[in-house]
Amino acid sequence: MNSSFNKLLTFRKWVITLMVCISLTHFLHIERVYALSDSKQFVLDAWTLVNEGYYDPEKFDEINWKRIRQKTLQKQIETSEQAYSAIEDMLKPLDDPYTRILRPKDYELLKSSNFGSEINGVGLQLGEDENGKRVKVISTLAGSPAEEAGIVSGDFISKVDGIASEELGLANTASKLRGASGTKVLVEITSNIGEIKEFDLERRSVDLRPVRTKRLRNDSHTLGYLRITQFSESVPKKIEEALQELKDKEVEGIILDLRNNSGGLVSSGIAVADSFLSEKPVVETKDRNGIKDAIISQKEISFDGPMVTLVNKGTASASEILAGSLQDNSRSTLMGEQTYGKGLIQSLKSLGEESGIAITVASYLTPKGNNIQGRGITPDKLLDLPEANEFGNSEDRWLRNAEIFLGSLLDKKEVSNSTNELVKIDEIEQITKKES
Name the average pLDDT for the chain: 84
Task: Return the H-helix or E-strand segment holding 120.
Answer: strand 118-121
**Of the listed ranges 187-191, 219-223, 357-361, 379-383, the one predicted with least confidence:** 219-223
Contact 165, 158 (CB under 8 A): yes
Average pLDDT over residues 254-267: 91
For the chain, the farthest-separated pair of C-alpha atoms sits apart, in whole angstroms, at 131
Inter-CA distances, 46 with 102, 212, 231, 348, 364, Å: 11, 38, 27, 12, 24
**Of the listed ranges 46-50, 167-171, 293-297, 356-360, the one predicted with least confidence:** 167-171
Give tens-digit pLDDT for 370-394: 999 989 999 999 999 888 777 888 8
Domain 118-207: top CATH class = mainly beta
- Using alpha carbons, select from 129, 141, 186 the residue that is nearest to residue 163: 186
Q: Interhelix angle for 38-53 vs 65-73, to 10°?
A: 170
For the question of residue 248 being annotated catalytic, the response is no
**Residue of 144, 165, 175, 317 marked catalytic:** 317
* Domain residue ranges in the chain: 2-94, 118-207, 211-412
For the question of residue 328 being annotated catalytic, the response is yes
Which residues lie below 8 Å from residue 171, measured CB to CB, with a gap of 6+? 88, 100, 101, 102, 106
In angstroms, what is the C-alpha Rg of the chain? 29
Give tens-digit pLDDT for 320-343: 999 999 999 999 999 999 998 989
**Residue of 257, 328, 355, 363 marked catalytic:** 328
Confidence of residue 253 (pLDDT cuts 50, 70, 90): very high
Q: Under CATH, which number does the domain 211-412 receive? A: 3.90.226.10
Alpha helical stretches, state H, 2-122 = 2-34, 38-53, 58-63, 65-73, 80-91, 104-115
For the question of residue 95 being annotated catalytic, the response is no
Residue 218: its pLDDT value, please?
Answer: 79
Q: Which long-range contacts (CB under 8 A, 24 or more apart) does 192-197 make?
A: 192/154, 192/155, 192/156, 196/158
3-state secondary structure (DSSP) of residue 106:
helix
Question: Would the pTM count as exceeding 0.85?
Answer: no
Domain 2-94: top CATH class = alpha beta
Residue 172: its pLDDT value, please?
Answer: 77
Contact 232, 208 (CB under 8 A): yes
Contact 136, 342 (CB under 8 A): no
**Cα three-residue angle 250-254-260, rounded to 5 degrees:** 145
Contact 375, 211 (CB under 8 A): no
**Residue of 262, 342, 355, 363 marked catalytic:** 342
Give tens-digit pLDDT for 335-367: 999 998 989 988 889 998 789 999 999 999 999
- Sequence-ordered strand ranges (E) for 273-380: 281-286, 292-296, 307-311, 333-336, 344-351, 355-365
Give tens-digit pLDDT for 17-65: 544 444 444 434 433 444 678 999 999 999 999 999 999 999 999 999 9
